Each structure stands twice: as structure tokens, then as C-alpha cells.
Amino acid sequence: MNLNIQYSASVTIDGEARTVSGGETIEASNMITGSQTIGNTYEVMAGSAIHRTALLLYNAGTVDVAVRVTMSPFDTYDYAIFNLIAGGVMVIPKLFINDLSTVAEVVGVHARTSSSTAIVEYCWIN
């Protein structure tokens, strides 16, 4: 199946608005979408359906979400933490470069807020 991904973002810096937008069509075997309410303790994100090509996250909540991506192999730490701002979008690929400068596979994704709850929409692509 072909998936058409569209994106746009804008930011104002020192009174000057900057915008980026575009789209891309990719080929995929399947796609799983849904949403999840995230609380203030780390929980498995979207069933942590590992062995997917990518995970797209959209923070539909009003508070930031900490996204912890667990990778294997990793030497010093086995995860990296990213901040997903309210209204923000994040793409987590299947592979990262780890702290040993070698390829590491994503083996789990967890998320939490610092307080309150947030709704995070997700799209797994395989």
C-alpha cells in the first residue's frame, strides 16, 4: 500500500514567522493508528509494537510528554529520552545510532507526562 504523509509546521522567532511544509508518499505493508491517554508514570506506548518501520506520535494534549526510546544494543544507557511538546509531532525510526556509534534497533517506546495527562495519537508503519 502507498501512504501519503503530509506535514507542516511554523514558528515565530524574533517576530519573523517561518514555515515548512511538504509531503511524501512511502510504500508500506500496513499501518496501525490510534490514541492513548498518557499519565505521569512511564507506560508502554501503543502496545510497543516493535519491529515496525516507524512510529509517528502527535501530542494532542496540553502538557509536554517525555518519550523514552529503548534501544538494543546500547553500552552505557539503553534508552534516549525526547521531549514531545504539546501540539508537537515526532517520528521514531526503527534504527538509531547508539552510544557506540553502531546501529541499534528500537525495542520499546514508553511515555509519560510530568503532571496531569495528555492524549497522544500514534501511527505505526510497517
Confidence at residue 98, expressed as pLDDT on a 0 to 100 scale: 72
Q: What span, in angstroms and rounded, lies between the C-alpha atoms of 104 and 80? A: 12
What's the confidence (pLDDT) of residue 58?
94
| Cell numbers representing residue 71 in the block | 534501544
CA–CA separation, 96 and 69 (whole Å): 10
**Tens digits of per-residue pLDDT, 14-52?**
999 999 888 889 888 888 889 999 999 999 987 655 567
pLDDT tens track for 42-99:
999 876 555 678 889 999 999 999 999 988 876 666 788 999 999 999 999 888 887 7
User: Per-residue pLDDT tens for 91-121?
Assistant: 998 888 877 788 888 888 999 998 899 999 9
3-state secondary structure 15-58: CEEEEEEEEEEEECCCEEEEEEEECCCCEECHHHCCCCCEEEEE
Distance between CA atoms of residues 50 and 72, nearest Å: 12
Q: What ranges do the domains of the chain cover?
A: 29-125
CB atoms within 10 A of CB 6: 8
- pLDDT at position 20, please? 86
Any idea which fold 29-125 has? Jelly Rolls (2.60.120)
